[in-house]
Structure 1
Amino acid sequence: MSLNSLSRRRWMQSAGASAVIAATGSMPRRTFAADPLPNVHEIGSRRELFVDEALIETRDDVDLVMHRPRDEGQVLAFDKPWEGGFSAYATVIRDGDRLRLYYRGLGVAGQDGNRAETTCYAESTDGIEWTKPNLGLFEVQGTRENNVVLADAAPVTHNFCPMLDTREGVPAEERFKALGGTVKSGLIAWVSADGTRWRKLREQPVIPSDQVAYPHFFDSQNLAFWSQAEQQYVCYFRVFQDKIRRIARAVSDDFVQWSAPVLMGYRHRGGEAPIEHLYTNQTHPYFRAPHLYVSIAARFMPGRQVLTDEQAQAIHVNPRYFKDTSDAILMTSRPGSDVYDRTFLSSFVRPGIGAHNWVSRTNYPALNVVQTGPTEMSMYLNQDYAQPTAHLRRYSMRLDGFASAQADYHGGELVTKPLAFSGSQLALNFATSAAGGIRVEIQDASGTPIPGFTLAESREQIGNEIQRVVSWKSGPDVSPLAGRPVRLRFVMKDADLYAFQFRDGFTR
């Protein structure tokens, strides 16, 4: 679902940064375990997405369906002499009305953490057209006319991963933070005021190697962010467990002292999920619902060779990098949890048509999903790894459109667990066919319909909107029910329900 350039430009001009990061409601400090009322989920005014079963009590002929992003084409070629086929580990950061992109520059394969690795930078106002500014900060391959923000800093430039620190009161000179390093160095912290000029936070690693009780670790993109939900910094990094690439999690109050890492587990709809090699995890708070951590991870299939020697030679891939395959998968997690929900085991982004998509370490997602239009968000993938055509590619989705609760033409219904909300209106992100629709009933905690909000009194919602206020015969006001344990019953036909949210101030 791509927007034309005129509507996108008008959105950028009229909305600015305030519309890019939508209001997400308040979140209590570090409340992960028991809710104040037994068996009642306190959602307040949070936006809730149908990416897992966390709030679902029953589903009758309604499926949770993953929606694959749409390929929007190449947006950035790694074609500079200091970039090349081994450019990798990209991070995209929304900073007001600007998008910042960071990635490793490397033209020739070498040992992890070698001196040839640099950190490169590009920027964009719309997420489609990207520029590489001549920053003049470092001399690389005989010139300062380059887009390099960090060089001569091995081994951190192997996997340098920045973040925009949104913690209240963060010093201006530490507005940006980053982690980088290998098993030999540990994870070293860097800070920056402007996102381009970086300095070490301290000489010693903030997560030393002797703090990690695994045989091998850090040899991939290791990320951190300030969690609004947890009110602390959270780091997800790569480890090996039983010779399989896994993910560990640690937390910190100050970005310097970190907890002992905990290995992340995986579940699939109530049971255990398969343990697969996940090369990068790309876990981040979803910008429209920061209590939901979205992970678009790189799934690595070692030894799963697709190309013949002749096909590999034809695309000029490095001969060491076509004996494996990889794709992108979707996982989610919640604040304080040491488990990922792999609600959908299938690939989120499949490799594309052509031999160049079926080589080792290609199709690796960049960190962070960002808004790129009034109804659109985008993710980015490294593609054509170890090839002369290496580049970054954009994929688009509707806002909140990772997955949906879906009913077909014959209809179905979904009932939530008991919820307690704040606000005066209920809004849906949904789509129906011309023949389809959604009706909403509000029940008490025992499942009894509440007068005034019964299914018979519900006005059918038909259409395709990011934000539609639900109404009943008496109108849309649900404030008399705020704070009370209630259930939502969605009766659907030929429809997708992506998200719902209680809050004030919505208009149709």
Structure 2
Amino acid sequence: MINKLQLNRKHVFIDWSLVEAGNGNSWSGTTDPWFMPNGIELRTFSPTVHPEPILLPEKPWEAYLISSWATVFEDEGIFKLYYEGYHAPDVVTGKDVQKYVSQVCYAESEDGVNWVRPELGIVNFKGESDTNIVFSGIQSSGIGPHGATVIKDPNGSVETRYKMIFGSVNEEKRTRHLRGATSPEGLHWTAIPDPLIYHACDTQSVLAWDEDEGFYRIYTRGYRNQSELIEGRHVWPERRTIDHSRSKDFF
């Protein structure tokens, strides 16, 4: 059992599968006392919920709202947060044009509670260069990146160490995609030209590298039947699904 564990990683003990009974045998799901560890108890602890939000809309590019679709992880002693900020577009024409535009923003923290928006100078917003925006999507998208997830890829090259997936809408062709982007340090992003998946994504999708199987895995919200275009608007079916895709190279 120990050989299957990566000792430099955290493991969640939700059952006895990672605990040896003490007689050289690993737990196999049985309740036989011979295979059950003695003197060990599994307990769950409630997290501490802070009463105040860690981020509030303070900048013009997030003035409409900060979405709950976000990614946070620790990276070399710094907590990194990627979140979606929404603002109103300059011009709204037509009844079916998205009324608010999103972009991926970045914040960092030493303790996970107090967050700083660094002035990165990567993406301008209406002439202002000192923003914490790191990615604004692609030109063919009508709403900006949607439901983005970011990972630091232990399998990636130096140039593509950080990877992002995000939903995208082509308003002209009225198509929905799941797209990808890569970055060497998690700040300067390059969008992959072609969609990863032709899939209607209307929430945050999940990306992970599966070290054991050697695949990138993506989990998305799906529908038993694709949406229909009725009188110029998308009508969604009632039955939702959890869909899974995998890739050897992410691209």
Q: Classify 1:134/1:55 alpha carbon distance in 2 versus 1 (closer, same or farther; 3 Å).
A: farther
AA aligned to 2:81 is: L
* CA shift for structure 1 position 246: 3.0
- CA drift of 1:59 comes to 8.9
Q: Taking structure 1 as reference, are residues 66 and 249 closer, same or farther at Cα in structure 2, changes over 3 Å only?
A: farther
Deviations 1:237-294 (A, max 9, x none): 11124614432111110002xxxxxxxxxxxxxxxxxxxxxxxxxxxxxxxxxxxxxx
Distance 1:126 1:196, change over 3 A: same
Counterpart for residue 50 of structure 1: 14
From the superposition, tell whether residues 189 and 26 of structure 1 become closer, same or farther in structure 2 (CA, over 3 Å): farther
Deviation at 1:226, TM superposition (A): 1.0
Separation in 2, partners of 1:255, 1:50 = 30
Partners of 2:99 and 2:73 lie apart in 1 by 26
Identity %: 27
Decide whether the 8 Å contact of 1:113 with 1:182 is kept in 2. no
Measured after TM superposition, the shift of residue 58 of structure 1 is 2.4
SS in 1 for 2:60: coil
CA contact (8 A) 2:86 2:100 kept: no
- Helix, strand or coil for the counterpart of 1:106? strand
Report the Cα distance in structure 1 between the residues aligned to 2:3 and 2:210, rounded to whole angstroms: 13
When residues 103 and 52 of structure 1 are mapped into structure 2, their CA distance, relative to the original with a 3 A threshold, is farther
Q: How far apart, in 2, do the equivalents of 1:144 and 1:44 lie? A: 43
Residue in 2 that maps onto 1:134:
119
Q: CA deviation at 1:219?
A: 0.8
Q: Please tell me whether residue 189 in structure 1 is matched to residue 180 in structure 2.
A: yes
Q: Does the 8 Å contact 1:176/1:191 carry over to 2?
A: yes
**Which residue of structure 2 lines up, in the alignment, with residue 86 of structure 1?**
65
8 A Cα contact 1:113 1:158, kept in partner: no
Change over 3 Å in CA distance of 1:58–1:116 after alignment to 2: same
Report the AA paired with residue 199 of structure 1.
T
- Return closer, same or farther for 1:208/1:70 CA change in 2, 3 Å cut-off: same
Aligned to 1:165: 153
8 Å Cα contact 2:137-2:191 kept in structure 1: no
RMSD: 3.4
8 Å contact from structure 1 (residues 222, 237) kept in 2: yes
Distance in 2, matches of 1:249 and 1:26, equals: 28
Q: Distance in 2 between matches of 1:237 and 1:81?
A: 30
SS in 1 for 2:55: strand
Query: Which residue, 154, 158, 180 being the options, matches 2:166?
Result: 180
Q: Deviations over 1:333-374 (max 9, x none)?
A: xxxxxxxxxxxxxxxxxxxxxxxxxxxxxxxxxxxxxxxxxx
Deviation at 1:82, TM superposition (A): 1.2
Q: Is the 8 A contact 1:114 1:158 kept in 2?
A: no
Task: Give unpaired runs (5+ residues) of structure 1.
Answer: 1-24, 28-42, 210-216, 257-508
What is the letter of the counterpart of residue 183 of structure 2? S
Cα distance change of structure 1 residues 104 and 44 upon mapping to structure 2, 3 Å threshold: closer
Match of 2:135 in 1: 150
Residues 243 and 118 of structure 1: CA distance in aligned 2, closer, same or farther (over 3 Å): same
Q: Which amino acid aligns with 1:205?
A: P
Matched, 1:225 2:208: yes
Amino acid at match of 2:128: T
Match of 2:79 among 87, 99, 105: 99
- Count of residues paired in the alignment: 206
Give the number of the structure with larger relative contact order, counting CA–CA contacts within 8 Å between residues 6 or more apart: 1
Contact 2:73-2:80 at 8 Å conserved across structures: yes
- State the alpha-carbon separation in 2 of the partners of residues 182 and 55 from structure 1: 44
TM-score (norm 1): 0.36
Report the Cα distance in structure 2 between the residues aligned to 1:235 and 1:189, rounded to whole angstroms. Answer: 11
Q: Name the structure where strand makes up a greater proportion of residues.
A: 1
Change in CA separation of 1:139 and 1:68 when aligned onto 2, cut-off 3 Å: same
- The answer as to whether partners of 2:101 and 2:144 remain within 8 angstroms in 1 is no
Provide the rounded CA distance (Å) in 2 between the counterparts of 1:181 and 1:200: 12
User: Judging changes above 3 Å, is the alpha-carbon distance between structure 1 residues 26 and 177 closer, same or farther for their aligned structure 2 residues?
Assistant: farther
Cα shift at 1:208: 2.2
Q: Structure 1: how far apart are the matches of 2:50 and 2:86?
A: 25
Q: Output the TM-score relative to the length of structure 2.
A: 0.69
1:120 Cα offset (Å): 0.8
Q: Structure 1 residue 126: deviation in Å?
A: 1.9
Deviation at 1:104? 0.7
Residues of 1 paired with 2:101 and 2:241: CA distance?
A: 27
C-alpha distance in structure 1 between counterparts of 2:161 and 2:56, whole Å: 28
SS, match of residue 54 in structure 2? strand
Cα distance in 1 between the residues matched to 2:111 and 2:6: 32
- Summarize deviations over 1:27-78 as a string: whole Å, max 9, x none: 4xxxxxxxxxxxxxxx797956125999542299xx9875432213432222
The residue number in structure 1 matching 2:198 is: 208
Distance across 2 between alignment mates of 1:232 and 1:113:
35
**CA distance in structure 2 between the partners assigned to 1:227 and 1:121 by the alignment:** 25
CA distance in 2, matches of 1:156, 1:108: 12
Return the letter of the residue paired with 2:70: A
